Structure 1
Amino acid sequence: MHLSRKTKKRLLSTVTYFFLLIASIYSLFPIFWAFLTAIKPADEVRSPTPTLFTANPTLENFRSVLFETQFPRYFLNSVIVSVGSVLLSIFIGVLAAYALSRLSKSPGVKTLGVGMLLAQMVPVVLLMIPLYRIMMNLGLLDSYTGLIISYTVFAVPIITWMLKGFFDTIPIEIEESAMLDGCNKFYLIVRIMLPLSVPAIVSAGIYALVHAWSEFVLTFTFVSDDSMRTLSTGVFNFMGLWIVDWGRLMAAAILIIIPIAIVFTFIQKYLVSGLTAGSTKG
């Protein structure tokens, strides 16, 4: 049986979208299930014969999370720490990526870049004791500064490599022309490189934001004051020694997801172009 090229293309497209649909359902179903659990009354959540849907949906769990717990405080802490770490990570990452890109032929630069990437392969758990000692000696435990610095340390290497790939695609002739017109390195980066790199910077910022928003181990280690907890560790209050408040826990999980989903919605076009911009050179 001979199939025309158009038929083959249509068949391939159908199969591709089918598997993408299956993958999407597989990825989104836990979120859907969490939402259904969050709108169930308490007696249905703890029922020995659980059901997927409920006949009596309620927003009581969301109301309880927002007005009867420290969730708003955890949310504020997460916003402060996430925004701070994103700005600091992008600032350091841009400078480091530009240096690695333009000094790539200098001795030791490639080794330094590879070393930064290999450092990411070290499990975070192995670094907890020395990092805790450092934070304790510097008086940075239970503080925004300590969390921002620790998040930045783990985000900068990947951000640097993401931005370096983009800077490599920007012709050096653009910089040479600007310098002939009297532009120094600082204004070269601020007025030329940064505007050209907006998609890549947004992609790197999203990585840093997701990393900071969902980070658990560092916060759990460096923060013992309940008023300084972030969302990832604050939800532990819904898990007791003998029982788990699944209704409020799922409601909190949905509320944690919403801000990231909104951010992705508004900057999706920059994210896609930024992730593919550094894949080719020329």
Structure 2
Amino acid sequence: MSASVSTRPGGRPRPWIQPHLVLAALTIGLLLLFVLLPMAWMISTSFKSQVAAMQQPPRWIPEVPTFENYAKLLDPRGEGGRWFLRYLLNSFIVSTATTVLGTAVAVPAAYAFSRFRFPGRRLLFMTILVRNMFPAVVFLIPLFILMRTFGLVDRHASLIITYMTFGLPLAIWLLKGYYDNIPTELEEAALVDGATRFFAFVRVVMPLSVPGIVAAAIYVFIQAWNEYLYALTFLNSDELMTLPVGLQSYFSEFVTDWPGLMASSFVMSIPVVVLFMVLQRYFVRALTEGALKT
């Protein structure tokens, strides 16, 4: 059996080492190093003592690794562990509620923009996307005044409503592109068989749009999980603080607990990484299929 040889259109052999592929591989490698090196240093520091973290020159691998920082974080009997677990619970509550409510709003809204034709549809859709053109800090004072007017300051509801406001535009845009890729003939066939529009949406469109819904939910959850500025502004009680705001307790006027901060940051990143790894195939599928036109 003869081995196949890659050839150019003119019949000449194609070189095995192609410059553009090498350049692409080097670029991806540099980007991976840029992302992974800080994470590796964070994990390394989390296993150091306070003295070892300040050692000069710094060491990538600690001489005497210690799990003391993680033990303090995850031990509910200690003060540090009790507060950390409370902040972690608050983040789960806010992020989960934001994801559920945001997805529940984004799904029918995106379906309406995709399937229905009504006056001002294009203008309204563009208006929703315009919000992403402005930095989040621009809306800080107006939203704080609004939350204070409705008595929602120092409540998780203020964060949930705010995070929904920030997550909905991209979620609606992502889902609309996905719905545009689902053939309307499937719904028309269900309508011909006597199904209502709502029944056709629930039983036909929804199962096909699961990857898009999962991708939108991942985006909303990650955005709510990592948000710091609004949580710092809207919440005053320590019992209600989310994890990004709670991490500032490791900073003090004279000494910063760098190993404890790195350990808590690593634990904070675990739910997001696990969520993305488990649902990655849905996320990639939604992005690729939503970008295609039938």
Contact 2:53 2:258 in 1 (8 A): yes
Q: Tell me if the contact between 2:177 and 2:290 (Cα under 8 Å) persists in the aligned partners.
A: yes
Q: Deviations over 1:180-200 (max 9, x none)?
A: 122222222221111100111
Partner of 1:81, secondary structure, is: helix
- In structure 2, the partner of 1:92 is 105
Seen in structure 2, the aligned counterparts of structure 1 residues 107 and 6 have a Cα distance that, compared at 3 Å, is: farther
Whose Rg is larger?
2
1:22 matched to 2:30? The reply is yes
- How many angstroms apart in 1 are the aligned matches of 2:255 and 2:103? 42
Offset at residue 102 of structure 1 (A)? 1.2
Structure 1 length as normaliser, TM-score?
0.94
**Secondary structure of 1:262's aligned partner:** helix
Structure 2 residue 132 is the aligned partner of structure 1 residue 125: no
1:206 aligns with 2:218: yes
* 1:54 corresponding residue in structure 2: 62
In 2, Cα distance between equivalents of 1:214 and 1:108: 34
Partner residue of 2:175 out of 146, 149, 163: 163
Query: Is residue 241 from structure 1 mapped to residue 253 from structure 2 by the alignment?
Result: yes
Tell which deviates more after alignment, 121-130 or 88-97. 121-130
**TM-score normalised by L of structure 2:** 0.90
Distance 1:28 1:273 in 2: 25
Deviations 1:14-53 (A, max 9, x none): 4433322221121111111001011011111123432222
Cα deviation code 1:156-185 (max 9, x no counterpart):
011000000011111111111111122222
For residues 6 and 81 of structure 1, what CA distance do their matches in structure 2 show? 55
2:265 aligned counterpart, secondary structure: helix
Looking at structure 1, the residues matched to 147 and 118 of structure 2 have their Cα atoms a distance apart, in angstroms, of: 35
Which amino acid in structure 2 is aligned with residue 53 of structure 1? I
Counterpart Cα distance in 2 of 1:7 and 1:159: 42
**5+ residue gaps, structure 1:** none
Q: Report 1 or 2 for greater relative contact order, CA contacts < 8 Å, sequence distance ≥ 6.
A: 1
Q: How many residues align?
A: 279
What residue is the counterpart of 1:5 in the other structure? 14
**CA RMSD, 1 decimal:** 1.7
Q: Give 1:192's match in structure 2, choosing from 184, 201, 204.
A: 204
Q: Return the letter of the residue paired with 2:260.
A: R
**Residue among 44, 54, 59 paired with 2:52:** 44
Following superposition, the deviation at residue 65 of structure 1 comes to: 2.2
Partner of 1:74: 87
Work out the CA distance in 2 between the residues paired with 1:57 and 1:233.
Answer: 28
